[in-house]
Structure 1
Amino acid sequence: MMDKYPWMIGCLIFVFLFIQSGICIKWLSLQHSNLHWNLTSLNNNPGRGIRSGVRSPCAVAKRRYGFIKVQAKLCRNAMEAMPHVQTAAMLAADTCRIVFKDRRWNCSSITTAPYLTPDLTRATREQAFVYAISSAALTYTMARACASGSLYHCSCATKPTEPPEGTFQWGGCGDNLKWGAHFAKRFIDNAEKYVAEKAKKNVKRDNSLEENREAILKNEVAVINLHNNKVGRKVILEGLRIQCKCHGVSGSCNIKTCWKALPSIAEVGTRLLQKYTNAKEIETKAYEQHIATLKPKKISDQLLFISKSPDYCTKDERLGSLGTVGRQCNVTSNGPNSCRQLCCGRGYRTVVEEKIERCQCKYYNCCYVKCKVCRTMTQRYECS
């Protein structure tokens, strides 16, 4: 049967590829974890390991929270950094949900990690954003951890080489963006490169086109994921600002000590939202040529994606769409949260709610408070 329908083999391989293409962001499931990243008790236990019934948190992270081999190895070698990785997972998820809260895709997909929905495994525009924000969040968290003294092998950022302007001088403790980006590359980018290298090894000259198709496609997706990681880190770099503190007698500002500080994570999320809107679709040519022909570096500031996204209007689990039925919308807005856009033209229903609360309270004499009961009616609008 497969001999008669060779296109079916290609489709199955294509689907299998995209099921695997999001494995390097499964670590975002740490947003739900309560792991204790402390191996003091294990180090004092000569019988530690599976036989002792005590598991390393890194082994648990690999088994339960989606760490792949290279991430688990880094976890074992840099255990003290793992609480900050967990913080980064929560920061990335929260920022994504805030940025997209009023849109058809409201980033609810990110909460299902490590069991990712198809919209985060098919190299979509949404997957591009999630890769970028996760890379940015990890860089951000590690840079802050260095400056706060939470990590013993890094500290404040080095002072800028360019001379300061005016009456200020470089000082303070700047967020160590260089080390934060370095760690993010080791934890996220190296995982993606690991997937790409495995794919390259599976490309063999004597194999048929069908046999090589999966490996070539997987390599292409890895390159695009790496590019989107880089975009996330670049947004933080471009958002660095000078922050100062005054010094002087009686509150004067004779001398200003300044350092370069990170932008807020909310600002990073907003800038990545703009890049999500203007993301570039890449037409994969895996069936005819190798990944090198893509050369995504030429589009250095754009997020890249391969697969078109669903419209997220109706529920379709095959595509990862939860639909917008029941979502609250705004009847006076013209933006993405408007009932017209959010409800996809299906209309909306008005829900009237009565709120009963104490009001107009007065304090009498010394001993009691007397209040009236107020009833207020509110309306909200939900997509049909």
Structure 2
Amino acid sequence: MQKIWIYIMIAAMIDCYEVWTPENTNASLHFLDIKRTCRKARQSKGKLWKICRKEHKILEEINKGSQLATKECQYQFRHRKWNCTTQRKSLRRVLLTDTRETAFVNAIVSAGITTAITHGCTSGNLVQCTCDSKKKVLSHAEDWEWGGCADNIQFGYRKSKQFLDSPHRRKDFRTLVLFHNYEAGRQAIKKYMRLECKCHGLSGSCSLRTCWHKMPPFREVGARLLDHYDGSFKVIPGNDGKSIISEAKPHTKENLVYSENSPDFCVANKKTGSLGTVGRSCNATSRGIDGCELLCCSRGHHTKVDRVKKNCKCRFSWCCEVVCDTCVAKIIKSYCK
């Protein structure tokens, strides 16, 4: 039964043609198909089904979070051999394995959902929650006090966990890995809440400040998870059958973990879901991950020169007119062979 739920959630994350929205409008392709997930949740009648049946506004925020996660994944991996494609068949194959790429996708989806639900509380889109009302006493070390509209990270964390974790009743090894990476995504937000303040006082003297907690920017969350992807830990089942153990040094709940080695994404392979890097744009002058040598897997690259007309040598002509010449600029682009 547990394996069935894992495949259901994977299918929900890759069946991108029927994305749930309240108006049934077409949405851009992204990881999570909420409509499909809720349809499958009907069988369990658990916490997930309760959210699907009664909390449609929460589902809207979850949908936004999935879109946010997909865009961020594609940004962070734009120069990588695997570029976080949402091409359906390719993504299906990638997510059926337990590699570093799958770990990142699960973590960024969890982070995206947590962010979107928390923002829904702060913006007033959700009636189930408000700003974080937890008040603290005046700080004696600084002239500031708690106030403003703090992000209700506790509510976003809890709802994200309910939606993603609750379908999995039995905790086999693969589910433990999945849960760990979901939690890593939530920790990338919760642990890095920041203090924002507003000054009060005559003539901007800032004699007193009102401060509140805010979530980190999601671009920062994505970059942090990418760092954890680069330093991810390969794990094996613990002897007790209820834990995971890293093969190298011990991991923390912030680290991403995986159990299978990633395929070679250099060439197209239907079995692994690799689309290859042939035709990918690369930077011929860079020796980094976006450089042609690495991205093209030492196959070489070719260049294409585009000529683009644009305004140049603009000057102001009396009265009241800007006159420009037309120049032709050469744009050189490199592509993997």
Shorter-chain TM-score range: 0.7 to 0.9
Aligned-partner SS, 1:156: coil
Going from structure 1 to structure 2, the CA distance change for 1:20 and 1:180 (only over 3 Å counts) comes to closer
Q: Deviation of residue 294 (structure 1)?
A: 3.1
Match of 2:156 in 1: 180
Shift of 1:83: 1.5
User: Match of 2:127, as an amino acid?
Assistant: Y
Partner residue of 2:53 out of 38, 57, 76: 76
Aligned counterpart in structure 2 of residue 169 of structure 1, from 145, 153, 166: 145
Tell me: CA distance 1:369–1:232, structure 2 relative to 1, closer, same or farther (3 Å). closer
Tell me, yes or no, if the aligned pair for 1:75 and 1:82 is still in contact at 8 Å. Answer: yes
Quote the residue 2:233 is aligned against: 280
Who is 2:78 aligned against? 101
Deviation of 1:376 (Å): 1.6
Identity %: 34
**Equivalent residue for 2:29?**
none
1:292 to 234, 242, 254: 242
1:123 CA displacement: 1.1
Displacement of 1:378 in angstroms is 1.7
Residues 1:321 and 1:29: Cα distance change in structure 2 (over 3 Å): closer
Q: How does 1:203-214 map to 2 (within 5 A)?
A: none
Q: How big is each residue's C-alpha offset from its partner over 1:266-286, in whole Å with a ceiling of 9 and x where there is no partner?
A: 11111111111111112358x
Cα distance, 1:126 vs. partner? 0.5
Gap runs ≥5 in structure 1: 1-16, 40-59, 198-218
* Aligned 8 A contact 2:302 2:336 in 1: yes
On the 8 A contact 1:30/1:86 being kept in 2, the answer is no
User: By how many angstroms is 1:306 displaced?
Assistant: 1.4
Return the offset for 1:315: 0.6
Residue 62 of structure 2 is aligned to residue 62 of structure 1: no
- Counterpart in 2 of 1:212? none
Between the aligned partners of 1:263 and 1:31, the Cα distance in structure 2 is 28
CA distance in 2, matches of 1:145, 1:131: 21
Secondary structure at the residue paired with 2:236?
coil
Structure 2 runs not aligned, ≥5 long: 25-32
Q: TM-score, normalised by structure 1?
A: 0.74
What letter corresponds to residue 328 of structure 2 in structure 1? R
Q: Name the residue aligned to 1:158.
A: 133
**Between structures 1 and 2, the one with greater helix share:** 1
TM-score with structure 2 length normalisation? 0.84
1-side partners of 2:158 and 2:15: how far apart?
20
- Deviation at 1:321? 0.7
8 Å CA contact retained: 1:66, 1:114: no
AA matched with 1:157 = D
For residues 55-91 of structure 1, give each alpha carbon's deviation from its aligned partner in whole angstroms, at most 9, with x where no partner exists.
Answer: xxxxx9534x776315454221211212111110110
The alpha-carbon distance between structure 1 residues 266 and 128, as it changes in their structure 2 partners (threshold 3 A), is: same
* 1:379 corresponding residue in structure 2: 332
Question: Which amino acid counterpart does residue 277 of structure 2 have in structure 1?
Answer: T
Deviation at 1:372, TM superposition (A): 3.1
Aligned AA (1:87): K
Give distance in 1, aligned partners of 2:283 and 2:208: 50
Residue 255 of structure 1, aligned match among 205, 208, 219: 208
Aligned residue number for residue 22 of structure 2 = 37
1:124 counterpart letter in structure 2: T
CA separation of 1:270/1:67 partners in 2, compared to 1, >3 Å: closer, same or farther? farther
Instruction: Encode CA deviations 1:309-360: one digit per residue, 9 max, x unaligned.
Output: 1121001121011111111111222211011110111011111111123434
Match of 1:24 in 2: 9
Q: Is the 8 A contact 2:305 2:331 kept in 1?
A: yes
Residue 165 (structure 2) aligns with: 189
Distance 1:66 1:80 in 2: 14
Task: Say whether the 8 Å CA contact 2:197–2:209 is kept in structure 1.
Answer: yes
Shift of 1:361: 4.8
Coordinate RMSD, CA, aligned: 3.1
What is the alpha-carbon distance in structure 2 between the residues aligned to residue 370 and residue 348 of structure 1?
Answer: 40
